[in-house]
Chain A
Amino acid sequence: MLLRRLIPCLDVADGRVVKGTRFIDLSDEGDPPTLAARYAEAGADELVFLDITAAPEARGTLLDIVERTARSAVVPLTVGGGVRSTADIKAVLRAGADKVAINTAAVRDPALIRRCARMFGRQCVVASIDARGRVGTSGDAPPGWEVVVRGGREATGLDAVAWARRLVELGAGEVLLTSIDRDGTRGGYDVELIRAVVAAVDVPVVASGGAGTPADMVAAIVEGGADAVLAASIFHRDLHSIGAVKEALAAAGVPVRRVPVAA
């Protein structure tokens, strides 16, 4: 039986992990490969790097980090952020990433998803979708969620559920679904959003945005139907350990990979 995945996400800017971490025992807590190896040892099923570097000239730094992480962590690695072309994707894969998340570039050029799926296989093409609940000023606003890009600063007018379906039709092998409303709040995932997208596509869906407690992750999987749950700050700030979350998921009847943690 396929196990449900728990995925820590690291935001990387100019080669450093940002959004402060609290691993004071690490000699270099801002070093992405060091943190990645720590999470892998603790039982992370997969890792996601989101490169939020503003300047394109810093991309070489990212490739070096991906390569060092691929050597040190024996779990899969997804890399996203600033991926705009098949050449970008090839470089990231050659550096050691297993999957590449495409977000803004897919909105600008949806056919990029198809080209990447043809060149590299759909299993390594992740459609990353940031969604925000539509809030009507009058009573007749359409329900649902709108796709936003640039970290939520720019609305696209696209319906998130229809967009997910479209990107999967074009060749995406997985959907990384982030609720911008919940992101950073630790107030729980948007379970309705997850459920709507899971029902619309036949590929795995990774839930993101809002994880605050293990119970939130249980809800995303059991009620939302997510194949995997992604979280950042609760792990970085050591609010909940990966082991503790896995225990809670298992106790709720969710099949997970249990990793004996070395003393």
Chain B
Amino acid sequence: MVDYGAGNLVSIQHALSRAGATVRGASRPADLVGADVVVVPGVGASRPAMAQLRRHGLDRAVTDAVEDGAWYFGVCLGLQLLFERSEEDGAEMLGLLQGSVQRVPDAPRLPHIGWNALERVRDHPLLDGVADGAPAYFVHSFVAAPDDRSMVVAETEHGGRFPSIVASGRVLGIQCHPERSGSDGLRILANLVRLAAPDASAAG
């Protein structure tokens, strides 16, 4: 779990442990070596977050880990950082996926804070056992705008519609906070651990 300074990591660390994962905090590139899943949490704006990642060399370390076959699981800002640039502050981001980050379109109020539905666009193992339309907890003002819409797994409506879960191969991102989203959120994290686990055993 990439730890680049601010924010609440306790909740997601604990929730992933409950889901069966062994969680290791990563504040240096060496901490990511051998990880099956690189979890990038975070809230807030992309520019300061990217600056923190670069300061510690974690931006390259994360993309290297993914290129070497690790899963990426981005939560909230961690989803947004996957894309190339932020239209709000012009920040250059990780660029593992093509597209940009923008303000929630046509939102009645921002930040978008509270429980809202994960509306399934296509099936994905991350949502196994989670009902279509299940509410999850969001707290954000920005969303991803992927170039390739086929990576969208779930959408959510707050004025406009935006991707709330994206998946492209082993690169996964979720805009809500599964660690704060009750039993459905814990199920999503358990699904993540189950998805990545066979690789762990195959690697010995």
Contact = CB atoms under 8 A, between A and B. Distances in A.
A203 B179 contact: no
Interface string B110-135: 11111111000000000000000001
A257 B115 contact: yes
> Would you call the interface of chain B mostly helix, strand, loop, or mixed?
mixed
Interface string B173-187: 000010111110110
Interface in B25-73: 43-45, 48
B203 interface: no
Contact of A97 (B8, B44, B48): B8
A128 to B, nearest CB: 15
Nearest to A71: B14
Contacts of B77: 121
Given A2-B116, A98-B180, A202 B109 contact: yes
B181 A2 contact: no
A5 B139 CA distance: 13
Interface string A65-81: 00100110011100000
Interface stretch (A24-32, A88-96, A103-111, A180-188): A88-96
A161 to B, nearest CB: 17
Given A71-B14, A120-B43, A2 B9 contact: no
A14 B198 CA distance: 47
A202 B9 contact: no
Nearest to B183: A74
B116 A74 contact: no
Contacts of B7: 93-94, 120, 124
A74 B179 contact: yes
Interface residues of A, number: 38
Interface of B: 6-11, 14-15, 43-45, 48, 77, 109-117, 135, 137, 139-141, 157-158, 177, 179-183, 185-186
30 contacts: A1-B157, A3-B116, A3-B135, A5-B114, A5-B115, A46-B114, A67-B10, A70-B10, A70-B11, A74-B182, A74-B186, A76-B177, A93-B7, A94-B8, A94-B10, A98-B8, A120-B6, A120-B43, A121-B45, A121-B77, A122-B111, A123-B140, A124-B7, A173-B111, A174-B111, A202-B110, A204-B113, A227-B114, A257-B115, A259-B182
> Can you list the 8 inter-chain pairs with the closest CB atoms, starting with the nearest?
A121-B44, A96-B10, A123-B111, A71-B14, A3-B115, A70-B10, A173-B111, A257-B115
Interface of A: 1-5, 40, 45-46, 67, 70-71, 74-76, 90, 93-99, 118-124, 173-174, 202-204, 227-228, 257, 259
